[in-house]
Structure 1
Amino acid sequence: MEGLIKVFHTYSSKEGDKYKLSKAELKSLLHGELGDFLAASKDPMVVEKIMSDLDENRDGEVDFQEFVVLVAALTVACNEFFVESMKN
């Protein structure tokens, strides 16, 4: 948990509201922490789509509560991948 909180605040404190991720900060976080995930995506709009999906209150930024949705979704996807891998 501490690691997730530190990662969020490392990126969120770079510009504007230090408790929210701007689109640029989110993009930086995704490239810095999930670069392989982004590289695997062939969609040039992937960051914009992630931002849109996470920004529940439509304020143009992602707060920690909204960020946790990304963490949960990635955790579920990884679990599904490993479950399928173990079946084969």
Structure 2
Amino acid sequence: MEGAIKTVVMQYLSSARGKENLGGKNFQKLVQSQLGNILSDTESSSAVKEMMRGLDDNQDGKVSFQEYMTLVGYLATSLSEQKASGQEDKH
């Protein structure tokens, strides 16, 4: 798990390119490259902009690390629920 956390942090920092927050293009590149197999519509700039608006708690037009972690947490929870319901069906 430690490796997974380090990967999440390093991918965000790499995508932010030394800045504190991700702008629209860098956010879209990050979700396309790292979350494209989990999220749908990562190729659609309008869908990604909508996702950004939903994550952007302080309404600054950018995604902070904390705001990005909201997305990661949501995805982790969704995957966990899918796996749990899949296991229940097999019993």
TM-score (norm 1): 0.84
Q: 2:69 corresponds to which residue?
A: 68
Which residue identity does 1:8 align to in structure 2?
A: Y
Give yes or no for the alignment of 1:51 onto 2:55. no
Give yes or no for the alignment of 1:5 onto 2:14. no
Kindly state the Cα deviation for residue 31 of structure 1 after the two structures are TM-superposed.
Answer: 0.6
CA–CA distance in structure 1, aligned partners of residues 7 and 27 of structure 2: 17
State the Cα deviation string for residues 12-59 of structure 1 (Å, max 9, x = none).
11xxx6111001111000110012234x449x4321221011111000
Unaligned runs of 5+ in 1: none
Question: What's the secondary structure of 2:36's corresponding residue?
Answer: helix
Which residue identity does 2:11 align to in structure 1?
A: V
Tell me the percent identity: 25
Q: 1:18 corresponds to which residue?
A: 19
Which residue identity does 1:53 align to in structure 2?
A: G
Runs of 4+ in 1 over 4 A off after TM superposition: none
TM-score (norm 2): 0.82
CA RMSD, Structure 1 to Structure 2 (Å): 2.0
Question: What's the secondary structure of 1:36's corresponding residue?
Answer: coil
